[in-house]
Amino acid sequence: MLRLALTGADGFLGWHVRVLARALGWPEPVVVTRRDLDDPAAVAAKIDGIDRVVHLAGVNRGDPTEVAAGNVQLATTLAKALTRCAVPPTSVVFANSVQAGNGTPYGDSKAVAAATLSNVRPDLDDVRLANLYGEHGRPFYNACTATFCHLLAEGRVPEVHEDREMTLVHVSDAAARLIDAPADGPWDGAMPGLRIGVRELAERLTGYADLYRRGEIPPLTDRHSVRLFNTYRAYRFPRDYPLPLPRRTDGRGDLVEAVKAHSGGGQTFYSTTRPGVTRGEHFHLAKVERFAVLRGSAEISLRRVGHHDVVRFAVSGDEPAVVDMPTMWAHNITNTGSDDLLTLFWTNELFDPARPDTYPEAVESRTELVVTT
């Protein structure tokens, strides 16, 4: 159970690091803000005696001169702070880039930042990250995956102006590598990459979007297909939910197709819930989970881990619809009717008690991850 300190804690990668730490049951990381990084003494006070410092803060976009100067300045402040600690951190990790030293202002400044930190910490863990993708990336900023998913969620068509090969790594795998997470969850600290062209990526995500508009689950045949689909779903939530299901009625009764999974497999189960009783109160990092109320009425509540706002959906067996739980959102379902609630659940994988990918989190509490600069 490590005590972490993070710079860049409220960025894309920083949020995923904090969510992973929460899933592991570790203490809430100490947050070193951008304001702190103007003052080595303030940083030293926060990282003194910490087990692991993870330096994520950086400047990725903007004027080339400001990008170059910003990355070096942030590393310089941290380096000075490390020399002022009475009890130096046990380890220091730098979230570097595969572009380090490539001759661009960004790449060269990342290389200088690494060298600056290495001068005071020769044991620096210098992790060179490839292109990261994942849930809640910032469109037109973090990566083309985020941009494509955002456009598709809005019903628009991604445009590829320059096709090239690239390696994609899911952000939770990068987070696991940076904090040296134990290998007993859906993450992989070896950071397995997906080698794919930009055009092929756009076409794959477009295929996911076409199927999902009908409520169908695309082929989820490997870890990257699951994580790319989860990434796309994040951009549709909560605007497009619940997803209505078509109902076919004849003299015999009704027929509703609750799950159409193109890759097959997964696990289907149902539960009954007494009036006023709540089920759930947890989140998943990778699992795709679908709720469909078959009889009765319920409220499904969700909250993104580390955020305040709760999203609520009123659902009923009288109007067939499904809500797919977004990854890294705490969720529950409460019977709001006077009779037993009957709910169908589907997940894309069989339940494994040794690796359940289920982490306790109450929807109505635990908002400590929210930070400000």
Residue 238 counted as domain residue? no
Q: pLDDT tens, 277-332?
A: 999 999 999 999 999 999 999 999 999 999 999 999 999 999 999 999 999 999 99
Q: pLDDT tens, 251-266?
A: 999 999 999 999 878 9
Shared domain for 201 and 247, answered yes or no, is no
Kindly report the average pLDDT of the chain as a whole number: 95
CA neighbor of 294 nearest in space, from 238, 346, 329: 346
**Which two structure tokens, joined as six digits, stand for 62?**
């903007």
Shared domain for 267 and 327, answered yes or no, is yes
Asked which of 205, 224, 252 is the last residue of a domain, the reply is 205
Residue 72 has pLDDT above 70, yes or no: yes
Shared domain for 170 and 265, answered yes or no, is no
Residue 219 counted as domain residue? no
Residue 365 counted as domain residue? no
Residue 366 counted as domain residue? no
Shared domain for 280 and 201, answered yes or no, is no
In this structure, which amino acid lies at residue 35?
Answer: R
pLDDT reported for residue 38: 96
The more confidently predicted of residues 265 and 274 is 274
Q: pLDDT tens, 339-353?
A: 999 999 999 999 999
pLDDT confidence band for 368 (50 / 70 / 90): low
Residue 218 counted as domain residue? no
Residue 123 has pLDDT above 90, yes or no: yes
Q: Are 348 and 261 in contact (CB under 8 A)?
A: yes
Q: pLDDT tens, 178-197?
A: 999 999 999 999 999 999 99
pLDDT confidence band for 276 (50 / 70 / 90): very high
pLDDT reported for residue 367: 55
Shared domain for 163 and 259, answered yes or no, is no
pLDDT reported for residue 142: 75
Give the structural domain span for 259: 243-360
Residue 235 counted as domain residue? no
pLDDT confidence band for 371 (50 / 70 / 90): low
Domains contained in the chain, number: 2
pLDDT reported for residue 61: 84
Strand order in the sheet with 243-244: 243-244, 321-325, 289-295, 341-347, 267-273
Q: Are 148 and 201 in contact (CB under 8 A)?
A: yes
Shared domain for 158 and 269, answered yes or no, is no
Mean pLDDT of 39-54: 98
Shared domain for 151 and 256, answered yes or no, is no
Q: What CATH number corresponds to the domain at position 294?
A: 2.60.120.10
Q: Are 79 and 114 in contact (CB under 8 A)?
A: no
Shared domain for 164 and 257, answered yes or no, is no
Could you tell me the maximum CA-CA distance found in the chain, to the nearest angstrom?
80
Shared domain for 42 and 143, answered yes or no, is yes
Percent of the chain residues topping a pLDDT of 70? 98
Peptide bond into 360 cis (omega under 30): no
Residue 268 counted as domain residue? yes
Residue 237 counted as domain residue? no
Shared domain for 152 and 33, answered yes or no, is yes
